Amino acid sequence: MRMRSSAQESELQAHELRAELDELLRASRYAGQRERRLTEAIQASPDRQRPDGELVRQLAQARTLREGLGARCIQLSDQLQQLEHDLRQHPAQAPRFATPEPPPLRPDIGALAGRVTTLHRSGARTEVADLLAQAAARLTPDETTQLAGLLARRGPGEASRQLARSAAHTAPEHAVAVLAELREAGLADEAAELFHAFWGYPATALPALLAALERAGQPADGATLLWEWGSAPTPELTVLAAGLQQAGRHDDVRTLLRQAAGRPTADLAALATDLPAPLPAVLLHELAALRPPVELVRLAASLDHHRDLYDLLLAALRADAARHRATLAALRAAGLPTEPAAPARSRRGRR
């Protein structure tokens, strides 16, 4: 087996650093978005002097995560800058018996890039958008990446990002494959644009996208999507949870509802009411595990007029009565039931 030269090793290391940096930058950006949303939720709280304790805890976690990711990004960026400087000084030489190089660029892709550039310079933005949408639908993921690379290098730069966004509107399997190719090619901005466009997927389409990411070996992307969807409006969140349940993605349902557990009590009560069975039980089980006694009592009070939901919360608490002793005691102190409602007896049974 032929040994790599030190320069080739450096090129490989630089490629790996670029990929890792792309992932970290993406994660840092979404952690920042999460931090801003939590801050807005706290500021919008009716009692800003005493904000929701769980929201405060999640905000601290999001801030710590963002700061840690930012520090790591700086470290990787410095390493990558030094490696790239060394490679410019000592470029790698192609091995005598090199493996086959990538196939040459298809002439029509080069012509397509030229057409986009000409239209852009003439101010024909609508025609550029149409042309890029057609290209995203017609080209293979590798060809889409080649075109994006040409546009990124030769301009207009915004067209390469627009092409990436257009790829998000193709079939999920195709869009995910384009995402992988863009990252492999080191087109970090274009990959970020495509991934960000996934936020525009409606709740009904997200299960198929999550499945495509899972099959492509990118479950972390799916987890990031679910993390953000945990703060979606209640009607959209309900549709997504029901769709995931119907698609058999039960782990995703639990992850989604766990992310939603940090919402204000009124939102949680509305969510429990809107979710189709058996999802309210899943949500209330997560809440029983995550929320402190004072907040669980507040939730129980808001569910008291929905006795079926109240009993589901009680069942989650009573399943581990020792752990939830303080919560059950607080329910009694508040005059709320700590025993499930007795089943109604039929007329026949009373005779």
The span from the CA of 115 to the CA of 98, in Å, is 35
| Structure-token pair, residue 244 | 């995931």
Task: State CA 15 to chain mean position distance.
Answer: 24
- pLDDT of 351 reads 41
The answer for residues whose C-beta is within 8 angstroms of residue 198's C-beta and 6 or more apart is 168, 175, 209, 221, 225
The span from the CA of 281 to the CA of 306, in Å, is 13
* Longest Cα separation, the chain: 97
Kind and range of the H or E run holding 63: helix 53-89
- pLDDT of 156 reads 80
- pLDDT of 305 reads 86
- pLDDT of 346 reads 47
- pLDDT of 61 reads 80
The span from the CA of 34 to the CA of 344, in Å, is 46
φ, ψ of residue 217 in degrees (nearest 5): 75, 30
- pLDDT of 134 reads 92
Query: Closest by alpha carbon to 227, among 3, 50, 82, 30?
Result: 30
| Structure-token pair, residue 14 | 């630089």
The span from the CA of 106 to the CA of 142, in Å, is 11
Rounded average pLDDT per 10-residue block, the chain, 351 residues: 55 67 68 78 70 77 79 72 67 43 60 86 88 92 93 85 94 95 92 92 93 90 87 90 94 89 86 92 90 89 90 90 87 89 55 41
- pLDDT of 239 reads 94
φ, ψ of residue 328 in degrees (nearest 5): -65, -40
| Structure-token pair, residue 279 | 């999802």
The span from the CA of 146 to the CA of 183, in Å, is 12
Angle, helix 250-260 to helix 234-246, in steps of 10 degrees: 160
| Structure-token pair, residue 150 | 């040409």
- pLDDT of 333 reads 92
Each residue of 297-309: b (16+ CB within 10 Å) or e? Answer: bbbbbbbeeeeeb
- pLDDT of 21 reads 64
pTM: 0.64
- pLDDT of 96 reads 38
- pLDDT of 281 reads 93
- Is the bond preceding residue 156 a cis peptide, omega within 30 degrees? yes
The span from the CA of 29 to the CA of 220, in Å, is 15
The span from the CA of 284 to the CA of 269, in Å, is 10
